[in-house]
Chains A and B, each alone.
Chain A
């Protein structure tokens, strides 16, 4: 049967494709390669920290290693992971559309991503950046490392991200079928919509900030240079005006995936649909007004600190609303613990820890103690890895059969999920403890008494690494020898499962679904033993 994978062949049919599904797959390959690279740097960091003093690298190399880990993971992996890879593939199909609104722009966004990635990685082979992923001035304007190529890369990646967001907003507004109102959209689309709004409104500010940094380095413009009457804290304000909303670019689509997974694998309509939808938009809006919490100890005025602290707390309200609704959805559901659901449950657990520890950091008095310690590192990884990465894995396992028409081994998937869960908590829970006891982040050396905690943390990261190797193995295995996937193995009611075969045909739908359906009404699909699949009732 003709599908988007065998519709045409040859490398040109991929490199110049305008099909959102193929672009999504190319993005997937690109971001997974970036993840591998960033992950290798993470392993190097953890290995260096196995013992105090030098273990495998000198201090300068260590600075470059954690900078590259951060910059690659943030700009090349997490930001594009869910929207550009999974979102590109799924969004038009969920929407009942044949493609995104601007397929050429979509392809351009992918090639801009690759172009930006080349710039960013170029700084690897020259003099790798050692500023940390935040590029704070004045160090970033005075270090001899190749800050310019790295930041130029980030600017280009920003444009790629803007174009993806713009494309999604227009697609959602203009390409929905007539019957699908905003409140009949699957919640993943709501979260992608909110994410896109942030991408459009926040990313240009990162662009101008990094351009100013480049102007500072090349022309000595003096805006961030105290020696010339400039203000380095202004750089921090500019940077976090983008980079705080950017963490919602990372977490919102993850929450969207979890909303889908929790409902499908509880076989129960989502609890509080409107509350979840509105809370996505609320998070996107609130997220723009909290950036000052990164500058509590940078000499910001006390009044500003108090206001930013209050606003930061306010973001936890819509986040908590989502968690309560997911839990209420689980209540009395008939829960199936398939791999995607394992990740969804893991998300709720780890995100709750990550979110609650954020309150410690948003509180002025405790932040003074915890600022720039491992507590921050642990909090960030609980939200970004425990949150976004775990939801990405859930989404990847959920849509894998749709993307490639193949099933993977459930047993191995459960084993890998367990390895990642154990490894992750070993790695990062210990860092909460170290942080409260005063271990500063980004330090190359540490006192003897932290040795055990650092070693537990490093061993945890190896266990996690093992989990990822396992995932990579069984997914690649499934591509070659996996069981053929039915159209709707999970019994989901959203259009990509209920109305579209696996893998989807080139145009997604022979006929755009004209029937008014509820994305969370599971009575419209019935299980069929013979095909081991669900079909429209």
Chain B
């Protein structure tokens, strides 16, 4: 049995058992995170399988370049985080602080780019559900009739007012059934029904991911403060390791989101 250091809780018999418990706990927690996102991925899969034309049409309104930029930013942040964990293991406090700082800066950059993207969607009315109200002169958008024949400002198939969802069947039938052709070329000419479903899923997925980035930033800040106070060293760096794992997961989820939302077809 090893000596009881100040970082060893009384119910563990040695630091190795404690470290391994923490690590197993974190992996299990990551599994729950994956299943939390799993619900959204399932919703994505169901709607994409049933209404591919919505996805083919709507994804053109997302900015691929900004999405790719953000992917690079997050991959870099994963690298700086991994570097930080290594520095913690080696007990190099100064490098640890630098790498955590860099990770934070990259996370802020990610959220900044995301904010720019959200703002442009907002400006052009490319939002979810009842709030989907596209402005006519969207860049790269077909000049006429994003929502079909009627005036784009007040589309008939989007019921308004309090009773909106009480109208059981959409007047145009279930999403996409009216436009089953769905070829890429055609999508450019005419918008399918219920394009807002795509934006609903887009905002839910990226929003939940963004929330995780924010939580991750909070955790990194906490680790930063603790390493500033000199809490970590070669014999105790569990929190750095666990926050690192969490950050890699946040990164990994984005790596799935990017092609699924931005790179359709």
Contacts and interface: CB of A to CB of B under 8 A. Distances in A.
B230 interface: no
B131 A220 contact: yes
A142 B36 CA distance: 25
Interface string B131-171: 10000000000000000000000000011000011111110
Given A205-B38, A229-B174, A221 B24 contact: no
Nearest to A163: B29
Nearest to B162: A142
A226 B128 CA distance: 14
A229 B21 contact: no
B39 A220 contact: no
Nearest to B46: A234
Nearest to B20: A174
A219 B129 contact: yes
Interface string B94-138: 000000000000000000000000000000000011110000000
B175 interface: yes
A238 B45 CA distance: 13
A231 B159 CA distance: 16
A208 interface: yes
B43 interface: yes
A interface secondary structure, majority: helix
B129 A222 contact: yes
A518 B208 CA distance: 48
Nearest to B37: A208
Contacts of B128: 219-222
A227 B170 contact: yes
B interface secondary structure, majority: helix
Contacts of B40: 208
A303 to B, nearest CB: 16
Interface stretch (A93-101, A304-312, A313-321, A348-356): A93-101
A212 B128 CA distance: 13
A205 B201 CA distance: 16
Interface stretch (A165-173, A384-392, A436-444): A165-173
B11 A99 contact: yes
Contact of A174 (B9, B24, B38, B193): B24
B197 interface: yes
Interface in A213-235: 215, 219-223, 225-231, 234
B197 A222 contact: yes
Contact of B11 (A97, A105, A231): A97
Interface of B: 9-12, 17, 20-21, 24-25, 28-29, 31-33, 35-40, 42-43, 46, 51, 128-131, 158-159, 164-170, 174-176, 193-194, 196-197, 200-201, 203-204, 208
11 contacts: A99-B10, A101-B25, A174-B21, A205-B38, A220-B128, A222-B130, A222-B200, A225-B129, A226-B174, A229-B176, A238-B43
Interface of A: 97-103, 105, 138, 141-142, 162, 166-167, 169-170, 173-175, 200-205, 207-209, 211-212, 215, 219-223, 225-231, 234, 238, 507
